[in-house]
């Protein structure tokens, strides 16, 4: 039982390049989330998927797109990377998108945009 896995672990991009961050969970959770973590700002929600087939914007969605490929997988795409997107990205999942549910986090992807 791997929990939440993310690939890649590290990535360096040049401004304007695109990339997709992959996330998968094996806990049969319905809901999945993408956060970014910046120093002194905690974690901020980019997008979430309450259930397979649905996605919604979070606090900081600009410059990102997501795809809920199936129940297990939730990807985050940067179409044209900018230095402001340098951050650590975390994927999380929970049994339901309910306010009491614990979220389980992946190990993160460290992205640098030059």
Partner 1 sequence: AQSVTQLDSQVPVFEEAPVELRCNYSSSVSVYLFWYVQYPNQGLQLLLKYLSGSTLVKGINGFEAEFNKSQTSFHLRKPSVHISDTAEYFCAVSSHAGGTSYGKLTFGQGTILTVHP
**Interface residues with partner 1 (CB under 8 A)?**
4, 31, 40-45, 48, 50, 56, 58, 90, 92, 94, 96-108
| Residue (19 or 88) nearer to partner 1, CB | 88
Q: Which of 21, 37, 19, 22 is nearest to 79 (CA)?
A: 19
| Residue (4 or 13) nearer to partner 1, CB | 4
Q: What's the CA gap between 100 and 114, in Å, rounded?
A: 39
Q: Per DSSP, what are the bridge partners of residue 88?
A: 37, 110
**Least distance (Å) between residue 16 CB and partner 1:** 29
């Amino acid at each position: 039982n791997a929990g939440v896995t993310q690939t890649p672990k590290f990535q360096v991009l040049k401004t304007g390049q695109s990339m997709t961050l992959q996330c998968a969970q094996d806990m049969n959770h319905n809901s999945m989330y993408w956060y970014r973590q910046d120093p002194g700002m905690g974690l901020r929600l980019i997008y979430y998927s309450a259930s397979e087939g649905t996605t919604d914007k979070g606090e900081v969605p600009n410059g990102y797109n997501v795809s809920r490929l199936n129940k297990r997988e939730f990807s985050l795409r940067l179409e044209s990377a900018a230095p402001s997107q340098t951050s650590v990205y975390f994927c999380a999942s929970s049994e339901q998108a309910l306010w009491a549910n614990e979220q389980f986090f992946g190990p993160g992807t460290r992205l640098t945009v030059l």
